[in-house]
Amino acid sequence: DYLIECIQSVVKQALDPETMQICVCDDCSEDQTIKEKIQAIAGTRVEVYRHPQRVGHIRNFNTCLNKAKGHLVHILHGDDQLRLGFYEKLTGVFESNQDIGAAFTRFIYIDDRGHWRALSGLEMDKPGIFHSFLPQVAVRHFILSAAMVVRRQVYEKVGGFCPQVPSYEDWDMWKRVGSISSVWYEPYPFVLYRKHRQTMSIYNLDRHFTIDGISKSIELSRSYLPLHSREKWIKQAKQIGARLATQQGKAYVNEKKYRISWRYIERAFKLYPHPVTLIYFYRYLKHAMRHFMQSLSQRQSIEKPA
């Protein structure tokens, strides 16, 4: 159902077929009728390629790049949506600014029912070239694939998504893109990003891939970040990664997944063995103690005889 909504949000604002290609890359999903469902709403306007066997989301992203024929490439997850004006706006940006290699917009978080839940951070007040893009993206991940459009020639220079990064592969990609080209920012939120328990990000959280992906992405960035700022940016990225790991650890305490929670804490210290990580750990312990006390109180109230 999410995929159909995603495709409808694209088709209703699509440029003509000679100008814009639309292709679905299906990673051998369990639903054998995906192609028929897509054709029922879009006819032959949307191409469908189905992998004969499951290859994983990173190789599927690279399939998207290999199948793309245009000069501009936009990758959408199957449960995201676009608001009207996305392609018109960004096409005009690239036509008017031949020197930029990529452009991205602000986005809105939606839930499984499509309700708006939060707005992404405002990076700039007005649209324009994001001159501090590389220093910002080198230390924190703030862009979603659905919000980013990249020139084909830039992808050809930096290569595909790295299979060595188990998650945050898009963060690694945007750092590589920013290291060789300028990037445009549009503050209007044209993209709807769905957050629910079945999303790939949640899948990665449960398998510890998120913090592992952060660590691997930071390690790989040593090979392409500028030498003069590399170590400073990497240190800042590790600190932010450690903070995110402890925050995820607290989230798993709430879900009573204590073993997973503790593994995130271990990974936080491994990533950034610094006194500031102790501060994050102290906050984690306070949160865990409150959770345990509340759980104990609720249990006692249930067990107390009438």
pLDDT tens, residue order, the chain (306 aa):
899 999 999 999 999 999 999 999 999 999 889 999 999 999 999 999 999 999 999 999 999 999 999 999 999 999 999 999 999 999 999 999 999 999 999 999 999 999 999 999 999 999 999 999 999 999 999 999 999 999 999 999 999 999 999 889 999 999 999 999 999 999 999 999 998 766 655 555 666 568 899 999 999 999 999 999 999 999 999 999 999 999 999 999 999 999 999 999 999 999 999 999 999 999 999 999 999 999 888 877 766 665
How many angstroms separate the first and last alpha carbons of the chain? 48
SS3 190: strand
Q: Residue 132's closest CA among 168, 72, 185, 93? A: 185
In this structure, are residues 263 and 207 in contact, taking their beta carbons and an 8 Å threshold?
no
SS3 186: strand
145 secondary structure, DSSP code: G
For the entire predicted model, the pTM comes to 0.92
